[in-house]
Homo-oligomer: A and B are copies of this chain.
């Protein structure tokens, strides 16, 4: 069986943000120890504030942004990997003229 996993865009209410989740199951068997999505934040836009029990990792796939994590600002760019502890609030701003693209994984502990 070829290994490409499907990707499903989900409508979100946030202007300037597009969001897709990967289906990481095949025949109802969980294949991975995490869930995953790929999302884009357009120039001048930001994601909503997020806070949750699951832990999360982001890979910055393209562009630059300002991550606000637990009240602190951090400049992030293509190739950076970020780790969010459980219940730490976070969102990202795109202050540039270019799309910011992020691959997100999350999991329970």
Contact = CB atoms under 8 A, between A and B. Distances in A.
A81 B34 contact: no
Nearest to A38: B79
Interface string A1-18: 011110100000000000
- For this chain, the copies found in one complex come to 2
Give chain A's interface secondary structure class.
strand
Given A61-B59, A103-B103, A84 B3 contact: yes
B74 A2 contact: yes
A83 B5 contact: yes
Contacts of A76: 4
13 contacts: A3-B83, A3-B88, A7-B80, A22-B81, A32-B34, A32-B55, A33-B33, A33-B107, A59-B103, A61-B61, A61-B103, A103-B103, A105-B105
Interface of A: 2-5, 7, 22, 24, 26, 31-34, 36, 38, 55, 57, 59, 61-62, 67, 69, 72, 74, 76, 79-85, 88, 103, 105, 107
